Amino acid sequence: MRYKSIFKIILLVFLGFTFSLLVVVVATPYQLNAERTITQQVTDISNTYLAKGNKFTSIPKAGLIISVSGSNVKYRVGNNRAESARQGFELLSNRRLLVPGIKTAGASIGFVSATGKIPNYLVSAGYSSTPSEYWFPCRGKGGFVIGWRRGDRNNLECRAVQLGATNRINPSVQWKRLQDLYKLSSVGVKQQEEAPGQYPTQKAEVHVRQYCSAAAGSGQGWGIALPDAKFRWTPDSQNELCDRAIKKCNEVSSGNSCSVVSMGEWITTDSDFTVSLQCDDDRERQLKGDGNQVPDLVEKIENQAKSEGAKACVLNMYARDEVLVSPISDTPTLIQSDSSTNNLVINVLTSAVNVKDSKTVTFVEAGQRYIYRRQNDGTYQGTKASIPPEEREAIYNSPAVQEFLKLANWTQDIAPQIEEYRAALNIQFYQPPASPAVQVEETVVNGVAIWKATIDLNNPQTIVTLAPTADVQKAGGFASFVKNSNAALIASGTFKEDKGWTMISEGELLGNTGESKGWSNYTVLGLKSRNLPELSARAKLNEQNWAQYWFAITGHPRLVSNGIPGVTEIAPDSTLNKTGAVGRAAIGFSSKTKTLYHVITKVGISLQKLAEVMRAIGCDEAMNLEGGNGRLLAQNGTILVSGEVRAPLIVVYDAKNKAPDNIRIAWERFQNVDNPSVSR
């Protein structure tokens, strides 16, 4: 009897020695301690697993759950009871992630290399109506968005992704608590009522066989372990096979650097089965037969690889209902896969992939989909088709894709990779309509009438700059400057001061204008790369690394600090009217939503009242700016508030109101440089 069909995704390594697990030699922590950041944990993992003489310097050592969203996302160690998954859990050979079929539930997974980095292989699991399961190394089923590159021989993170249209799950998932999630039924194992945490007591004959392969980190040796004729499945059988594979590998590599690189199972009753050995010489060797012939096929293909001089290989098996997907270039490659009854759908979002079944290889490029469908006679047929524009929009806006693109789901080190995928996606697959990142409205907050400008810093086309007063004067004044500018927003900035407070625009101090110095004894609001906002208090001379900032402006006093409104950090020599009813202006941001706010009051209020207004609109950090007759505001070429230009103006561009080419080029370069130089 065939399994009840659901789709299976098995992520296997192309040259699997890129996934060095050391599952037996070293025991590792798998939960992020409260005191440790993800970055610290990445360093700890790389230090724990780093093997001297390792040829492949970017080998991932563990899967690391970067973030978890939604409820009922579970993490399972071996065959123990599943527990709630949390950020920082590590995925190794006997650990897996379980995501229910809910579009609000999912997790982001990165992989740690020996060099202490998370290389360019990223997985977003779930956010789909299909239940998803992911386990190391690179294997899963359900709904995924996967971003990766082909790489070279020394940098081959998960070059192959195996996807299938039939459930082929280890019988260990037969416990009752997982039946509710996956509704699985394995051949030969009767449905039983087991107590939570217990395994099926009946050792019925099953047609499932497991395998495991290991490779040396030096790139000089491999080992494969298959069950013998007396095999009976147990909760530890997979680990036992992997122990044997590592031992065989160590024997031929003259060392102890071998690690698990692939594992899985096959069905002995399959009549059409492919055994693949992918090796360091960039060759894939294949033999075909039925499930009962697998041991002979593996022995034959291993001998062939050895006779032809292969040094390190990984075993891969797939049946007629499975396909193998590989990127074809080193450009960012993004796919979205999902399944329904008897259908497997692979949407290629960027670059191109080869999809290989047991008969043919199909080239699928961005904007196309591959559908693997079960036919009435039980065979499977793959077809390729273009994705209609209306469906592209739906795929782009789907929870699965948007959660992959959300920077908050990844660490700051991974953010540049996500931006690469987003840029490629917008060019090759779907370009969303240009939406203004700047909104301006008249409103009343806490009884105070204000002009509120809302600036979305998440939009990569949002660029915030400063216009020196000399530029405004050269244009003929504020009105002419506004008329001739393509900016979405122009607003007043800081106070007119002789001492020259810190102001940065386009990554450069405005020092050559005489309006700025590289220090400040007041509060500074700055934007780093990717528009990351920050509010610093009273930076002292030479203590602040201004090279990190694309934009910065000084003000005082501070109005909101860590979500608490209050007038603090007042300059010692300030003559500012703090309590009187004065027309005010302020700037602040929400760290949670990454939104910048500029506010101008239409009536006179105290600084404390202004602080309460800034907190009420959503700021967790805010500071005071020039008020009185120094208040200025214009949107899309229309002046809303007129006044005196006393200091450099805040100028904002967005997707509809694009910045001049020189500013956009400077912005793009700034995103790609860790420490841009700042002129002093």
Q: What is the pLDDT, as a whole number, of residue 73?
A: 94
Say if residue 169's pLDDT is above 60: no
Task: Write phi, then psi, for 671 (nearest 5 degrees).
Answer: -70, -25
Mean pLDDT of 386-404: 94
Q: What is the pLDDT, as a whole number, of residue 547?
A: 84
Read off the pLDDT band of 544 (50, 70, 90).
low
Domain boundaries, the chain: 207-319, 438-570+577-671
- 310-334 pLDDT, tens digit per residue, is 998 888 888 787 888 888 888 999 9
Q: Poorest-confidence range of 34-38, 90-94, 96-100, 489-493?
A: 34-38
Mean pLDDT of 23-50: 46
More confident residue, 208 or 308: 308
Q: What is the pLDDT, as a whole number, of residue 460?
A: 82
- Would you call 141 helix, strand, or coil by DSSP? strand
Q: What is the pLDDT, as a whole number, of residue 476?
A: 95
Say if residue 472's pLDDT is above 90: yes
Separation of alpha carbons 412 and 118, rounded Å: 11
Q: How many CB atoms lie within 10 A of CB 13?
A: 27
Separation of alpha carbons 603 and 432, rounded Å: 39
Say if residue 199's pLDDT is above 90: no
Q: Poorest-confidence range of 25-29, 274-278, 298-302?
A: 25-29
| Dihedral angle, C-alpha 360, 361, 365, 368, nearest 10 ° | 20
What is the pLDDT of the chain when averaged over all its residues?
78
Q: What is the pLDDT, as a whole number, of residue 44?
A: 63
Q: How many CB atoms lie within 10 A of CB 639?
A: 15
- Measuring CA to CA, which residue among 193, 226, 402, 384 is closest to residue 301? 226
Mean pLDDT of 401-420: 86
- E strand segments, 302-357: 313-319, 322-327, 333-340, 343-350, 352-356
- 582-618 pLDDT, tens digit per residue, is 999 999 999 989 999 999 999 999 999 999 999 999 9
Say if residue 426's pLDDT is above 80: yes
Report percent pLDDT > 90 for the chain: 39
Separation of alpha carbons 215 and 222, rounded Å: 4
CA angle 523, 527, 529 (to 5 degrees): 150
Task: State pTM to two decimals.
Answer: 0.58
Read off the pLDDT band of 195 (50, 70, 90).
very low
Read off the pLDDT band of 189 (50, 70, 90).
very low
Cβ–Cβ under 8 Å, residues 112 and 87: no
Separation of alpha carbons 296 and 535, rounded Å: 66
Q: What is the pLDDT, as a whole number, of residue 642?
A: 95
Say if residue 1's pLDDT is above 50: no
Read off the pLDDT band of 194 (50, 70, 90).
very low
More confident residue, 167 or 115: 115
- 80-108 pLDDT, tens digit per residue, is 788 899 888 888 766 789 999 999 999 99
Q: What is the pLDDT, as a whole number, of residue 212?
A: 86
Mean pLDDT of 51-61: 46
Q: What is the pLDDT, as a whole number, of residue 620?
A: 95
Separation of alpha carbons 268 and 547, rounded Å: 62
CB neighbour class for 159 (10 Å; exposed up to 12, middle 13-18, buried from 19):
buried
| Dihedral angle, C-alpha 109, 112, 113, 119, nearest 10 ° | 40
Say if residue 529's pLDDT is above 60: yes
Highest mean pLDDT (candidates 102-116, 168-182, 198-212) = 102-116
Q: What is the pLDDT, as a whole number, of residue 51?
A: 45
For residue 70, give both structure tokens.
């939604």
Q: What is the pLDDT, as a whole number, of residue 53?
A: 44
- Measuring CA to CA, which residue among 78, 72, 69, 70 is closest to residue 109? 69
DSSP state of 417: H
